[in-house]
Amino acid sequence: MYEQIQETAQFLKQKMTSKPETAIILGSGLGRLVDEIDVESEIPYSEIPNMPVSTVEGHSGKLLFGRLGGKEIMAMEGRFHYYEGYSMKEVTFPIRVMYELGIKNLFVSNAAGGMNPQFHVGDLLVLTDHINLFPENPLRGKNFPTGPRFPSMHQAYDPEFISIVEDAAQRLGIKIFKGVYLGTSGPTFETPAEYRMFRGMGADAVGMSTVPEVIVAVHCGIRVFGISVITDLGGFADAVKVSHEEVQEAANAAQPRMTALMKELIKKV
């Protein structure tokens, strides 16, 4: 795997016209953030050696290089999920490549089911911590030389980045929450009983991504900021059915607020 990472990084270095230090992963329904990026180059995943290809609707599958908020960035338009059948090494392969490309900051976004009774569909949740309920840890196996065998997950989500976004949200009049994201393998949405259990464990939102990527980023010494769009609600008195299409619609509606906060964060990094 390490040889493949090196091969992919070398391929991308030959294509890059700049050296961004910040990368963004655009999750379900959040791909429209790309409209705000001044794209200098884009490479379909299918043309990148060793790169998996996303199979999920709403994940277009491109690696972008350009400018956002006045800074050079790279962005993944579409991510990979454990439930697609990929191994954890494959799911987090792009993060390993980012490290080799010199990425120092990673901003991850996702769509999540809200369990906090204060939430409404469309709310933004800034992640302060996570609970990992995936059946496999992405660091399982031989340790990569990018970090220690037993990395600490204390403050996996950078407090300085969180503070910057809090200040920006207050200044721009954007309502945000802070809380804990719980990651599961999917691909089923949660049952009402599962929602209630996860809430009892201390989670505010649940989703099927992000946690593996964050673990590997922390192992690589990359600073992380995470944010969820609450696209559905669960665990309350009235059971609510949800579909992937509804998740995408809710995430797209939150697009302007998400974009504004991302721009402000990038300006300050």
HSE (CB half, 13 Å, CA atoms) of 195?
22
What digits encode the pLDDT tens for the residues 39-56?
999 999 999 999 987 665
- On the question of pLDDT at 58 being above 60, the answer is no
Q: Can you give the pTM of this predicted structure?
A: 0.93
Strands (E), 122-167: 124-132
All domains of the chain in start order, with CATH: 2-268 (3.40.50.1580)
Q: Which residue has the tokens 């990026």?
A: 37
Question: For residue 232, what are the β-bridge partners?
Answer: 113
Asked if residue 101 has pLDDT above 80, the reply is yes
Please give the DSSP secondary-structure letter assigned to residue 3. Answer: H
Residue 92 scores a pLDDT above 90:
yes
Res 29: pLDDT? 55
Please tell me which residue, 208 or 252, carries the higher pLDDT value.
208
Tokens, residue 104? 């120092």
CA dist 221 and 56 (Å) reads 29
Q: Which residue has the tokens 């990992």?
A: 132
